[in-house]
């Protein structure tokens, strides 16, 4: 009897939706199929792609996951609850909430055929399920138990001493390598700053996709490049030529220090570049600085939402929280990494996101800039001094102090297997695609196998 009343109520809700809200036009796309725990699900209105998002009738998915659905007619708010989790959204609104955290939706809920349709990944993952898209079969697979999909990714940056040896040893545990090779000037011209033909050769022999990294960190050069349409066209043209001539799988943009006034220009550049490289079958990824909100002035040049909508992958460089020229402290404290990840996932689709891990440390002297250390070098230094590093509970990283021969006090903060593993767990918690590690040649022994196992990458067994 209760179920009959419930069905009647849902039907009445759907009628109110249908009478009160008009659906936006859906983007035409081939049929999409839906499976929950391996079983086909056939809702009354077929799933479809709208602006790159799979949308489904909310009631069908909620019932399949055992969730409760509530509707408030005055505010046109839908709320789903399951096992202590809550997802809340409004018809036609891009703002939505999961467990008290505000997110931005690429496609807001809408009404079609008398049914409320919602983006399946946002709602299902908000209820603790895992969602995986199979582009070959055009199927959405939902795991109600929230199992981590096997399609995780582990990227690594290639640069400097030790990178080649580490790439040869770790290639089977990686899904992508980013080769730090080129810079771009104010007029959009590329220059090869670090030739690494051996990196490309190794990646090719291992069947490992490789992207070329293009770097610039001069704010004046970036302002000129991003503010000039002709310079942007030059950059796009030369990048396309580079991808075609060198056979890279894709391109990674690492533009650091983008001025706030160049925010729109950066989005325009990425939009044009994406339109140029996708027909070639190439990927476009971005390395973006970490931020906890839009309120930090020097980071306003990065429009997370707009850039994330255009790129295939986005690496959030969640390291250098404390940098060589600043005060001593964690390279990436765990609580800071979580705040950074939470914000990024609220602006950029999590399935596009890679959490950047800095697998190193710094030794801060009493004056001047800090010196970078590998984890193994940091531990060896402590042992040579007869010191036992301490564990910082909040930051979840090891650290120690020592005095040099001149009596100067040093502070050393660094990463190890434990601290890096905890950050990787944050990426999994928020449903990110995987991690991107700076850099090859730095991580401690056993790291690549551990991280590959965490994300189900080939060679992880």
Compute the distance between CA of residue 240 and CA of residue 281 in angstroms, rounded to an integer. 11
| Residue 3 confidence (pLDDT) above 60 | no
Cβ atoms within 10 Å of 86's Cβ, excluding its own:
17
Across the chain, mean pLDDT equals 89
Contacts 24+ apart (CB under 8 A), 147-152: 148/428, 148/455, 148/456, 149/456, 150/456, 151/433, 151/456, 152/433, 152/434, 152/454, 152/455, 152/456, 152/457
pLDDT in tens, 43-53: 888 898 888 78
pLDDT in tens, 236-269: 999 999 999 999 999 999 999 999 999 999 999 9
pTM recorded for the entire structure: 0.71
**Local structure of 246: helix, strand or coil:** helix
Q: Which residues contact 222 (CB under 8 A, 6 or more apart)?
A: 186, 216, 255, 257, 258, 259, 262
Question: Among 319, 321, 326, 298, which Cα is nearest to 219's?
Answer: 298
| Residue 81 confidence (pLDDT) above 60 | yes
Compute the distance between CA of residue 347 and CA of residue 105 in angstroms, rounded to an integer. 8
Where residue 14 falls among pLDDT bands split at 50, 70, 90? Answer: very low
| Residue 164 confidence (pLDDT) above 70 | yes
Where residue 10 falls among pLDDT bands split at 50, 70, 90? Answer: very low
Question: What 8-state DSSP symbol labels residue 144?
Answer: T
**Local structure of 232: helix, strand or coil:** helix
Task: For each of the domains in the chain, give its residue range(s) and CATH number, in order of start.
Answer: 2-143 (3.30.457.10), 153-455 (3.20.20.80)
Cβ atoms within 10 Å of 46's Cβ, excluding its own:
14
Question: What 8-state DSSP symbol labels residue 248?
Answer: -
Where residue 39 falls among pLDDT bands split at 50, 70, 90? Answer: confident
Q: What is the pLDDT of residue 43?
A: 86
Cis peptide leading into residue 439 (ω within 30°): yes
140-166 mean pLDDT: 83
325-337 mean pLDDT: 97
Element (H, E) at 140: strand 139-143
| Residue 342 confidence (pLDDT) above 90 | yes
Question: Among 80, 141, 131, which Cα is nearest to 109's?
Answer: 80
Compute the distance between CA of residue 89 and CA of residue 75 in angstroms, rounded to an integer. 10
Q: What is the pLDDT of residue 385?
A: 97
| CB contact at 8 A, 409 and 366 | yes
| Residue 25 confidence (pLDDT) above 60 | no
| Mean pLDDT lowest among 18-27, 146-155, 248-257, 278-287 | 18-27
Compute the distance between CA of residue 135 and CA of residue 354 in angstroms, rounded to an integer. 20
Residues in the chain: 461
As given in the structure block, the two tokens for residue 76 are: 């046109």
Cβ atoms within 10 Å of 70's Cβ, excluding its own:
12
């Amino acid at each position: 009897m209760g179920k009959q009343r419930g069905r009647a109520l849902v039907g009445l809700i759907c009628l109110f939706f249908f009478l009160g809200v008009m659906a936006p036009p859906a983007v035409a796309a081939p049929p999409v199929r839906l499976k929950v725990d391996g079983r086909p699900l056939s809702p009354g209105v077929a799933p479809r792609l709208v602006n790159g998002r799979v949308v489904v009738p909310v009631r069908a998915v909620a019932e399949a996951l055992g969730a409760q659905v509530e509707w408030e007619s005055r505010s046109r708010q839908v709320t789903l609850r399951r096992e202590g989790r809550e997802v809340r959204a409004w018809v036609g609104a891009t703002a939505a909430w999961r467990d008290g955290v505000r997110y931005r939706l690429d496609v807001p809920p809408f009404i079609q055929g008398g049914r409320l349709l919602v983006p399946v990944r946002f709602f299902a993952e908000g209820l603790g399920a895992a969602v995986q898209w199979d582009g070959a079969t055009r199927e959405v697979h939902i795991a109600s138990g929230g199992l981590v999909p096997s399609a995780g990714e582990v990227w690594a940056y290639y640069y400097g001493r030790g990178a080649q040896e580490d790439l040869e040893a770790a290639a089977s545990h990686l899904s992508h390598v980013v080769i730090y090779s080129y810079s771009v000037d104010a007029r959009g011209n590329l220059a090869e700053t670090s030739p690494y033909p051996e990196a490309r050769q190794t990646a090719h022999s291992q069947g490992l996709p490789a992207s070329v990294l293009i770097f610039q960190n001069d704010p004046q050069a970036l302002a000129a490049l991003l503010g000039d349409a002709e310079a942007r066209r030059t950059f796009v043209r030369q990048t396309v030529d580079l991808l075609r001539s060198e056979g890279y799988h894709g391109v990674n943009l690492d533009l650091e220090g983008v001025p706030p006034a160049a925010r729109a220009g950066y989005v325009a550049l990425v939009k044009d570049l994406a339109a140029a490289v996708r027909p070639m079958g190439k990927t476009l990824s971005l390395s973006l600085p970490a931020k906890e909100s839009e309120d930090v002035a020097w980071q306003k040049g990065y429009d997370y939402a707009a850039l994330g909508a255009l790129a295939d992958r986005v690496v959030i460089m969640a390291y250098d929280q404390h940098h060589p020229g600043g005060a001593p402290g964690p390279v990436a404290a765990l609580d800071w990494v979580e705040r950074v990840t939470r914000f990024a996932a609220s602006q950029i689709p999590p399935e596009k996101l890679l959490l950047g891990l800095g697998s190193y440390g710094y030794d801060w002297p009493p004056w001047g800039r800090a010196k970078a250390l590998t984890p193994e070098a940091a531990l060896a230094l402590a042992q040579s001094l007869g010191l036992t590093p301490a564990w910082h509970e909040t930051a979840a990283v090891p650290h120690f102090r020592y005095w040099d021969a001149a009596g100067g006090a040093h502070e050393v903060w660094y990463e190890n297997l434990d601290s890096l593993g905890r950050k990787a767990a944050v990426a999994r918690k928020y449903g990110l695609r995987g991690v991107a590690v700076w850099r090859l040649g730095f991580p401690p022994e056993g790291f690549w196998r551990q991280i590959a196992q965490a994300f189900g990458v080939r060679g992880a067994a």
